[in-house]
Amino acid sequence: MSVALRECPGIWQVPRKSKWKVIVNQWRLFVMVSPGVILLFIFCYMPMLGIQIAWKDFDFGKGIWGSPWAGWKYFSFMQRNDFWLLIKNTFVIAALKLLFAFPAPIILALLMNQLNNMVFKRIIQTLTYLPHFISWVVVVGIMQALMALEGGVFNTVLVAFGYQPILFLGERNLFYPIVVLSLLWKETGWGTIIYLAAISAIDPQLYDAAEIDGANQWVKTWTITLPALKPIISILLVLSMPSLINAGFEQIWLLQNAYNLDISEVVDTYVLRLGLLNAQFSFATAIGIFTSVIATTLILVANTASKKLGGQGIW
């Protein structure tokens, strides 16, 4: 199979008359990928027909196709002040996550790379990977237990030292730090996997040559390891740009409460409240289209900027 893959030319790179010949000769490969293509079409492309709801007065009884057209009526959300507050909250939370959570796996991978004791290194890797497999529901449940006003570990310690208990999850000033720290604890270890794989591919002779020249660990990291990681860092940074309009629904939704709603309400949670809880499907779809356009624009701009600055683009 691997030989066939290497010998199979790109179907769009061959003359038109030869395309059918390629398909016939390599039919096994096309059969192999067909289930994935079919599933992609059914679950990713066919549902896109539903975006027409944004331009219709959607009625359950009439269905998508029978509902009357409403033009750009439901895009009036852009004129509402509370919507731009949601955009602000979304960008602030997403920017904080990007600022702290994006470099964290890189730093942790560089530190792990300095460990010579392989047993200790594997233990550290396992301990940092495990939180990724815990769902946000469980993580937030643990946080609520630890930060409870009565009986919580944190408040028990504060009271023992003579301080007043704090409603951690209800304090507006603590919401952003809690979001960022919980994300770092949960995902930093998992994010190191790809960087450790890239570091393992670096030629050890480069380090040996640098050591002969008198380079210490810091110099080797700065002049060899980081330049080798530059392409993968560029690609992951470009791919993370759309997250600026997506602050992470599950985590934010679970951490929201009446005390912090004015700073924790983001676009995704607003769409859920508007679309499912209030049954305003057309408004929710219009907002979804708007955010998708912004996300696409962000990734296009980031990819172009990355290539212009000498980094690696995703295409």
- In angstroms, the CA 296 to CA 109 distance is 30
- The one-digit pLDDT tens for each residue of the chain (315 residues) are 434 444 444 444 555 556 777 777 888 888 899 999 999 999 988 888 888 888 988 887 888 888 888 888 888 877 777 888 888 999 999 999 999 999 999 999 999 988 888 888 889 889 999 999 999 999 999 999 999 888 889 999 999 998 898 889 888 889 999 999 999 999 999 999 999 999 988 888 988 888 888 888 888 888 889 988 988 888 888 888 888 888 888 999 999 988 888 899 998 888 888 887 788 888 888 888 888 888 888 888 888 888 877 767 777
HEC profile of 194-233 = HHHHHHHCCCHHHHHHHHHCCCCHHHHHHHHHHHHHHHHH
What string of DSSP letters covers 31-84? HHHHHHHHHHIIIIIGGGGGGGGGGB---TTTHHHHSPB-TTGGGGGGG-HHHH
Tokens representing residue 98 in the block: 């990007």
- In angstroms, the CA 43 to CA 65 distance is 19
The closest alpha carbon to 241, from 311, 310, 312, 302, belongs to 302
CB count within 10 Å of CB 208 equals: 10
The CATH number for 72-308, chosen from 3.40.50.300, 3.30.450.20, 2.60.40.60, 1.10.3720.10, is 1.10.3720.10
Domain locations in the chain? 1-56, 72-308
